[in-house]
Amino acid sequence: MPQICIINLYFFSQYKLYCLMYSYLVEFFGAAFFIYVIFATGNPLAIGAALALAIMLTSNISGGHINPAVTIAMASAGKLPVSEVLPYCIAQIFGGLAALQLYNNYKL
């Protein structure tokens, strides 16, 4: 999976860490967007479109997992290092919790 990084740092270890943190942040926002659409609409067409959009926007950066089940499946298939499963899942779960909080505070 190709990783896109915005800032080119001089030290490789810092560069790799930055790329991983960027991937986790993208998964957080992708999951938050998807879960918020589920809460806000409940419309299957909107949910499917939101999932497709979230995957399209995050696939080049983090792989577009959006869901911890997909992350675990990718690790089981050998497409994702096992050491990255927990941070990805934590980012996705916290993204869902952030979407829930956002929905509860600002539902119209």
Domain residue ranges of the chain, discontinuous segments joined by +:
26-106
φ/ψ region of 78 (left if φ > 0, alpha if ψ in -120 to 50, else beta) reads left
Amino acid at 71: T
Q: What is the pTM of this model?
A: 0.82
Give the confidence band of 98 by pLDDT, cuts at 50, 70, 90: very high
Residue 10 has pLDDT above 50, yes or no: no
How many C-alpha atoms does 85 have within 13 Å on its Cβ side? Answer: 16
pLDDT range class, residue 18, cuts 50, 70, 90: low
Q: What is the mean pLDDT of residues 2-20?
A: 54
